[in-house]
Structure 1
Amino acid sequence: MGKLGRFACIFTPMALVIAGFICLSLVLSGQMNEKNKIQRDLYFFKADTREFNDNPDANFESNLPDNVEIDNELLKALQEAAKSKDTNKQLKDFYTVGFWNYCEGDINDKGEETITFCSERKNYFWWNPVDVWELDDSATQKIFPDEMQKGLDAYRKVSRWMFASFIIAFFLTLAEFLIGFTAIFSRWGSFVTTIVSTAQSLFYFSAAVTATAMYGSLVAVFESVLKPYNIKATLGKNMLATLWLGVAFALASGFFWLISTCCCSGKSDRKKVVVEKTPYTYERVASPYMGASGNAHQMHDLPAHPVAGHGTSGSAYEPFRHGK
């Protein structure tokens, strides 16, 4: 029952590790396969340019509040991208950003989205609208206001830390799963696994915080700068929900690994009961005693009447031996 109880003790943290690993894998696989609906719906950030594409020559200034001004350089660049005859340079209806790459596509009259292109996967990927929208023919400072440029610069720098945190968390999760098997045999295995789980939880949590804050800031920048052009930006709710669910699994697994270091040692509770003989006691002699001849000889030397206090029972004589 010892090993069985130990296995039951670590079953919960192992199940939580697997659940957290699945969530992390889904986060890292977002936008990698446009044919897979689950991966297609997982993105950190989405830019919707459909309303601008519908009427790129519209007079936006007439519908703007008094304190908002249109940047003519940016408007001109966006209009050229929207009306470009080169399909590779055309402004698409939407752009979704994943961990390794981004995808773009069109939206029909029914609101159905169709992905037409996904970029190649890259390490330390960050989505640069200047390159994607083919706006780099002009100086970046002229295309985007200072607020937009500063937001993109911060996004580019922080994205490197986010990428590293996710990759470290991924491999630490694998290590936690493999080392966790040693916890079946002893609480020392649970102790080592707890250390790995703590490190994994820290990187997982920091990656989630970084991604949420970084893309939240990017959405705020897009909303403040590009909303007058009817370009909208949103966070991927499915991606963030999956990400933070994985963080919850990671933190919970670390807690249960810690509990397993104190409980369920795995040793059997059965103990051998040893009965010690009390010194100077009498025990019955096995029959026959000293063989047939020896028995007969002793019976011949015995007195006719048993001596009181030497182990008699009725009229029968029962020999005893003195044991120390």
Structure 2
Amino acid sequence: MGKAGRVACIFTPYLLTIASLICIIMVGLGCTKASSSTLNNLYFMRVDLQNITSSGSKTTTEIENILEEYGITSVTSSQVSDVLSKLQDDSTLKDFYDIGLWGYCDGDITNNTSNTTSCSSPKSEYYFNPLEVWGLDNDAVKDELPDDYTKVMKIYKAVSKWMFIAYVLAFATTIVEILVGMFAICSRWGSCVTTLFAVLAFLFTTAASVTATVLFSIMDSTAGNLLDAYGIKFTMGKNMYAATWLAVVFSLAGTLFWLFSVCCCSGRSPYNHRNRERRNNGITAEKAPYTYEPLGAGAVPYGNQHPNHTSYPPTAANEYPMTNTNNGRANAYEPFRHV
């Protein structure tokens, strides 16, 4: 298979790698532009506050049982109600807050339709701090919060930082994979190097996707289950997770095809390979017509005999003895060839 076959073999993993890169870019663009309806539907988590209330729909015992279920023993239902009452009195509070990779967007809900009004400035290693975003970052509210809140926020901040770094590394290694993939057209060595970067891109993309999924799933199952009694709903964004896991699928498929191109689809021409084998085996091109060829090993071509060679008289009509007749026909010549 020649260059054309090599290009065809590289074309599939190249497209898969580009598709994975597009999905990663979509994840990064989520919650960055308030005027874009497409990007506004890309978020990891939505916090819906339109029905918030300080008086929970569950009893005090039920609230405390939920807290104990998740190992939160230093928080009481009254503390939760006190914090939410201050939040409920805030007139600047939006109906919803969408959490993305670089920041968050907020807006209002009218007739079950979400209208995004603003987005925060993109920030690296971003994590959503509810007290800061909701304007409750003051001593009066902090005194109501237990020590467990501070510990949980530190863990959330550290995990969010790792998730951001993983997405950046996934983006960078995928870019390098695309650039190096151009050299894979020329040789299998190029495919080998590209495969190494493809494996790295796949690992970082998978790590980022797993981290995001686990992080916000835990947030939904803990805080979401608790605050749902106070009218606060947590919703995971399906579009964002579809994009990040599609990036993983495309990256895996591209890696497998890059690996396949290392073993198959050589860019060398089969005709050059055959000619090289012929030269290595001592096969030469066909001689021109009207020539004589010696048929034995070590035979002297016709016309190149030693000048002192002795001629023998014929022993019979049209019969001449053969010189140096080892095994009978050592110096016999190929008959006169005609084309």
Report the TM-score when normalising by structure 2. 0.75
1:66 aligns with 2:68: no
How far apart in 2 are the matches of 1:8 and 1:261?
Answer: 14
Tell me, yes or no, if the aligned pair for 1:151 and 1:217 is still in contact at 8 Å: no
Aligned residues: 279
1:98 aligns with 2:100: yes
Residue by residue, what CA displacement relative to the aligned partner does 1:73-122 show, whole Å, maximum 9, x if unpaired? 4433433333334xxxx2211110000010111111x1011112211111
Q: Please provide the CA RMSD for this pair.
A: 2.6
1:280 aligns with 2:281: no
Aligned to 2:209: 208
Matched ranges for 1:161-240 at <5 A: 161-240=162-241
Aligned to 2:249: 248
1:40 aligns with 2:40: yes
Q: Tell me, which stretches of 5 or more residues in structure 1 are unaligned? A: 282-305, 310-319
How far apart in 2 are the matches of 1:224 and 1:149?
Answer: 19
Tell me, yes or no, if the aligned pair for 2:183 and 2:190 is still in contact at 8 Å: yes
Aligned to 2:89: 83
Report the TM-score when normalising by structure 1. 0.78
Tell me, yes or no, if the aligned pair for 2:63 and 2:226 is still in contact at 8 Å: no
Residue by residue, what CA displacement relative to the aligned partner does 1:266-310 show, whole Å, maximum 9, x if unpaired? 1111134734669425xxxxxxxxxxxxxxxxxxxxxxxx9479x
Amino acid at match of 1:67: E
Deviation for aligned residue 1:226:
1.7
**Sequence identity percentage:** 38
Tell me, yes or no, if the aligned pair for 1:44 and 1:240 is still in contact at 8 Å: yes
How far apart in 2 are the matches of 1:135 and 1:127?
Answer: 13
Q: Tell me, which stretches of 5 or more residues in structure 2 are unaligned? A: 65-75, 279-283, 296-316, 321-334
Aligned to 1:5: 5
How far apart in 2 are the matches of 1:142 and 1:82?
Answer: 18
Change (3 A) 1:49 1:8: same
Residue by residue, what CA displacement relative to the aligned partner does 1:187-238 show, whole Å, maximum 9, x if unpaired? 0000000111111111111111111111111222322432221111121111
Amino acid at match of 2:56: F
Aligned to 2:331: none
Tell me, yes or no, if the aligned pair for 2:202 and 2:248 is still in contact at 8 Å: yes
Residue by residue, what CA displacement relative to the aligned partner does 1:109-156 show, whole Å, maximum 9, x if unpaired? x10111122111111000010111112223665444555444322111
Tell me, yes or no, if the aligned pair for 2:63 and 2:77 is still in contact at 8 Å: no
Matched ranges for 1:10-21 at <5 A: 10-21=10-21
Change (3 A) 1:321 1:227: closer
Deviation for aligned residue 1:71:
3.4
SS where residue 116 of structure 1 aligns? strand
